[in-house]
Structure 1
Amino acid sequence: MQERVNIGTQDPASYQALLALSEAAQQSAAAAGLDPLLVELVKIRTSQINGCAFCLRMHTRDALQKGESPDRLAVLPAWAETGYFTAPERAALQLAEAITLVSNDHVSDDHYATAATELTQHQISAVAWLTIVMNAFNRVAITSRYAVTARAAM
């Protein structure tokens, strides 16, 4: 694999701005009352769609440390086919998928209406910002080809 420029270190001001946006999105999610596990699920599902191994590893570990179940993480790519997720979680995951795949349906009225039946306006906004930020981080990691290798057991 050809080594790439790490765009985060090459342009630290832009990367710091993204980190600040991420922190603001996290604060908004907390203020909206989103469960920290749902926040991680949104990040993981977004990263699954984008195929970002670096962010998947990081946020899966974060979710497990926060108490997320391995079963829910295992079925997350097929969340719509399971009974593991609550109606608000399903609405948030559907919205995150629609935002990540914006070129497909431009976040359809149906997707928005589903979210609006289960989430407050503040929560919809928080999920949207979390997803937007995660998409940006995925693109930074993928473009820079952040290394993802197995770690030796300790």
Structure 2
Amino acid sequence: MKTNKAQELIRTCFLIAAHAHGHQVDKADELYILHPLKVQSFIENPTNSVMKRSIKTLNEEERLYAQCVALLHDVIEDTPLTYDDLLINHKLPKAVCDAALLLSKVKGEDDQVYYERLKLNKIARVVKLADLLHNSDLSRLKTIKKEDIKRRIKYLKAMLYLWQDGYINDLQNF
């Protein structure tokens, strides 16, 4: 059971993300905030083997922080919010802000470099796995196009890369 302090931190992160994403919509034309909520739920209640195994690498505090990062994982990349906004203005834990920043892919950044960077931070790695898991779910889309299938394959390869060291030697042909 979560403590009041843990619940308040998750609530704060949700409110920050909901405000930051505002009326943004995703590829399925759903309110964008539903995506971070789903990613957070994969971490809070892991039901598939990838998430169950990944969550075991985190201690209790890291699991709490991973839920927070899941809610915030796109705010630095996709909204005007910055690392300093999260750390200084919202007074979020540094570990949460650091992982959220790591998850923010720099425009033009090579996938290999990005995923290698994520592997160095347990929290960011677990959140990215949950993010990729949700993003690869084609059942959310009304119609499935060829580019959706290609994107899903790319996400599944990235999941394997993050989930099991050495399973895929590199991200060539992504």
Q: Given the two structures, how large is their TM-score scaled by the length of structure 2?
A: 0.35
Task: Compare the two structures and name the one with the higher helix fraction.
Answer: 1
Q: Given the two structures, how large is their TM-score scaled by the length of structure 1?
A: 0.38
